[in-house]
Amino acid sequence: MLKILVFTKDLDFYSEQLLSGLSQHGHEVLCVIDPQQLEKFPKWKSNLRIIAQVPLRGRLDKQAARQYAQIIVENKPDICLCYTSRALSVALKAKREAKLSVPIVGTRGAVGGISCWYLQDWFSYLNPSLDAVICMSDAIRSRLEQQARRFWPWHPGKFVTIYQGYSSLVPTATKRDHSSRSTQSTKVIATIANERPIKGMGYLLDALESHLQFQDWKLMWIGEVSESTRKRIALSPELKDRVLCLGYRKDARELLAQADLYVQPTIAPGEGIGNAIAEAMAAELAVVTSNVGGALELVSAVSPELLFEPANPISLARTLEKFLTNNALCEQLGRAGPGILGRKFNLETEMQKHIDLFNRLI
C-alpha cells in the first residue's frame, strides 16, 4: 500500500472522491492545506486526514517550501500529489532546495482547462522537473505536451490522461422525465456556461437566431451572462422570448431534468471535458458539442452524430435540428449516457490508473 502526501489550497468534489476512495482501499492519504481555505471545505471532506496547515503566500514562498520539505522528511511519503499550481510550485521548490527524491505529481488546478487560467498557473505544470502531470482529458494532455516542448525541446513530457470518476453522478442525478417531456411540443435546450470566449456562446446564439429552422424551442442558459449579451437577446425577435438567462443556480440538476437536449459549443482544444456535460449525461440528456476539446471524449463515446464543427453556427444549427426533430434518436442517445459514464468514466478505473502511475514513478 502507498503513502500519498497531498499538497493543496483546496479540493473539489472529484478530488475528494478519489482521495477518499484510495483511503478506503487501504492507501494512506495525508493532506496538507492552506488554512485560509479550511473554512471553505464542505463537511464531506472531513473524512480526509489533514496533518498540517501551511499558508501559501506565493509560488516562491520560501517559508512554505521549508515547511513542505520538513513535512516530507517527517512523513516519508511514496508520492507527493499537488492539486493547485501554487502548492505545486512550492513543493517543487522544497524538493529542489532540500534535495529530496520523492516523486512530485501535479494534477487538477489549471490542468482542468488551461485556456481559462493565467499563464503562470498552468506554466507550473510545464515544469520539466515534474515527475508527471495527470490531465483530465486527452485535449489538455496534448496541449500541455505541445507547449512544454515549445519552451523546452528536451522536456521529458510525462503527461498522462486519467478521466474523473463521473459515474458517481448517476445514482444521485435528477433524471430527465422522459414521459412528460415527450408530450411537450416546445423543445427545451439547456446549457451551463459563462461567457469566456472559448465557451462559444456567441456562436450558439448565432445558430439559434439565424440558422435553426425548427421554431418551437427555448434555451435555458445557466451561468453568468454579460449585460451586452442580455441586451443582444432582448433586441432580437428570434431570441428575446426564447432564451432564458437564469444566472447561477443551485438547482441546476433539477433544471437539466426539465430539458430535452444539452449543448456545449466549445470552440478550441484548450477546454477540458466540463463537469456540466457529465451531469447532463447522468440526467439522461443527449449532449451536443463541438468536435474539439475534452468534451468530445465524453460525447463521442455515445455517438459521433452529437458533434459539430467548432465556431460554425450553421453546423451547430444543423446538429441541433437533427435531434430537435427526432424524438426517438434524442431519447436513445440520452438514455445511453449513464451507461457510458459507468463503463468508461468510473471511480474504480480512475483509482487504479493513479496507483499504476504512482508505482511506475516509485
The more confident residue out of 190 and 57 is 190
Beta bridge partners of 53: 33
Find the mean pLDDT for residues 60-78.
Answer: 96
Find the mean pLDDT for residues 249-263.
Answer: 93
Find the mean pLDDT for residues 79-93.
Answer: 93
Measured distance CA(226)–CA(237) in Å, rounded: 19
pLDDT value at residue 114: 54
pLDDT value at residue 65: 96
Find the mean pLDDT for residues 32-52.
Answer: 76
Find the mean pLDDT for residues 311-330.
Answer: 94
Find the mean pLDDT for residues 226-246.
Answer: 96
The more confident residue out of 46 and 105 is 105
User: Residue 270: which pLDDT band, with cuts at 50, 70 and 90?
Assistant: low
pLDDT value at residue 304: 85
Measured distance CA(284)–CA(257) in Å, rounded: 8
Burial 239-267 (b: 16+ CB within 10 A, else e): beebbebeeeeeebbebbbbbbbbbbbbb
Domain with CATH 3.40.50.2000 in the chain: 3-165+346-361, 168-344
Find the mean pLDDT for residues 198-218.
Answer: 94
pLDDT value at residue 311: 92
Find the mean pLDDT for residues 123-142.
Answer: 89
Measured distance CA(256)–CA(275) in Å, rounded: 13
pLDDT value at residue 36: 79
270, 218, 221: which is closest to 245 by C-alpha? Answer: 221
Grid cell of 209 as nine digits: 437566431
For residue 40, pLDDT over 70 is answered with no
Find the mean pLDDT for residues 145-162.
Answer: 90
Question: In the CATH scheme, what is the code of domain 3-165+346-361?
Answer: 3.40.50.2000
User: Residue 293: which pLDDT band, with cuts at 50, 70 and 90?
Assistant: confident
Measured distance CA(298)–CA(337) in Å, rounded: 9
Q: What is the chain's mean pLDDT, rounded?
A: 90
For residue 84, pLDDT over 70 is answered with yes
Find the mean pLDDT for residues 177-197.
Answer: 84
First CA to last CA distance, the chain: 12
pLDDT value at residue 170: 93
Find the mean pLDDT for residues 97-101.
Answer: 96
**In the chain, % of residues over pLDDT 90:** 64
Residues with Cβ within 8 Å of residue 243, at least 6 apart in sequence? 205, 208, 218, 219, 221, 233
Class of domain 168-344: alpha beta
Find the mean pLDDT for residues 325-344.
Answer: 92
The conformation of residue 287, written as its DSSP 8-state character, comes to E
Measured distance CA(189)–CA(355) in Å, rounded: 40
Q: How many CA atoms lie within 13 A of 118 on its CB side?
A: 5
- 6 in helix, strand or coil? strand
Please state, in angstroms and as integers, the Cα–Cα distance from residue 1 to each residue in 26, 112, 198, following that order.
Answer: 7, 28, 41
pLDDT digits (tens, 9 = 90+) for 100-126: 999 999 998 656 655 545 666 777 889
